[in-house]
Amino acid sequence: MTKPATKIPTVFIDGEAGTTGLEIRDRLAKLQTVTVKSIAPEVRKDPQARQAMMRDVDLVILCLPDEAAKEAVRLADELGTQSPRIIDASTAYRVNPEWVYGFPEMATGHAHKIAAAKRVSNPGCYPSGGIALIRPLVEAGIVPSDYPITVNAVSGYSGGGKTMIEAHEAGNAPNFDLYGLGLAHKHVPELQLYSLLTRRPIFVPSVGTFRQGMLVSVPLHLDTLPGKPSISDLRAALQKHFVGSKLITVVDGEDAAFKSGRMEPEGLNGTDKMELRVFGSDAHRHAVLVAKLDNLGKGASGAAVQSMGMMLGVDV
């Protein structure tokens, strides 16, 4: 008897013309495990056309502004039992308890929650690095949940949306721009929640004149932490948390960054990898934790594709 052919899951990217949507579409085009369905350009904003597409696919990835994403979810919910599974790349649902946060390495068993989820919120690029550095230390009891954390970060301009991209590529943007100085950046709620922090962290982002790549850093005064941990204690806690991870590596040893005391943000571009390093001075009892990633990879499109693979049970 001939074995019946396995149905290939179908995916609709609502908002595929944006930076994140285009990146996801390019990634999915290289896969044979899913079929991407697109809506005609002339009706891509028509609610009925979008809802009809949602009815016909297994999973929808939303690459829309927050309010548009909420409207898309309402359209999907109206379908009832025919509603597709959703990954939302906006900030609209990242701290919503009814949605699963799409960071599988965040905690033991979290990948299974993503695989079973009907609704998944895609992490922000900056919080991905911050959570990876902070949460394992809070879980290990090295950093108290109410510790006054500061997170500094720099990203390539592709993470800033269409207007920022156009300004940089036209040469109309500064070489370096510190922003979010009102200390109310939209990524702070998810950074605090999923890092298990009870005290709101100070988050200061910045952007440079390179297209993509990211560094997220967290400075620590070791003598202000319980038990006065060593630099090796911090590194060991991170290594224990991410042991066996295919994408997140805790770099240990004398690589170029440790030897020079310098780091550049673009070395992981084009990958979904994240590297974590612990720099420090035993003499001064200071440490700086640094996450390096592609803001369009593990920080955005790559994370969405990773969650999609888990939800649909396909290789990506």
Provide CATH code, domain 125-293. Answer: 3.30.360.10
Residue 119: beta bridge partners?
86
Cα torsion through 195, 298, 248, 198, rounded to 10: 0
pLDDT of residue 6: 64
Cα Rg of the chain, angstroms:
20
What strands lie across the sheet with 214-221, from one edge to the other? 176-178, 202-208, 150-156, 214-221, 286-293, 274-281, 248-250
Return the closest-CA partner of residue 297 out of 279, 316, 311. Answer: 316
Q: Which residue type is seen at 239?
A: Q
- At 1 the pLDDT is 41
Please confirm, yes or no, whether 63 is among the known catalytic residues: no
97: Cβ contacts below 8 Å, ≥ 6 apart: none
Which sequence spans correspond to the domains of the chain?
10-122+300-312, 125-293
From first to last of its 316 residues, the chain has per-residue pLDDT tens of: 443 446 899 999 999 988 889 999 999 999 999 999 999 889 988 999 999 999 999 999 999 999 999 999 999 999 999 999 999 999 999 999 999 999 999 999 999 999 999 999 999 999 999 999 999 999 999 999 999 999 999 999 998 878 888 889 899 899 999 999 999 999 999 999 999 999 999 999 999 999 999 999 999 999 999 999 999 999 999 999 999 999 999 998 778 888 899 999 999 999 999 999 999 998 999 999 999 999 999 989 999 999 999 999 999 9
CATH number 2.160.20.10 is the correct assignment for the domain at 10-122+300-312:
no
Nearest partner of 52 among 29, 77, 79, 31, judged by Cα: 79
Q: What is the pLDDT of residue 17?
A: 85
Please name the amino acid found at residue 197.
L
The SS3 assignment for 107 reads coil
| pLDDT score of 3 | 39
pLDDT reported for residue 298: 94
- Catalytically annotated residue among 125, 197, 215, 287: 125
- The confidence score (pLDDT) of residue 242 equals 98
Of the candidates 114, 117, 112, 147, the residue with the CA atom closest to the CA atom of residue 133: 147
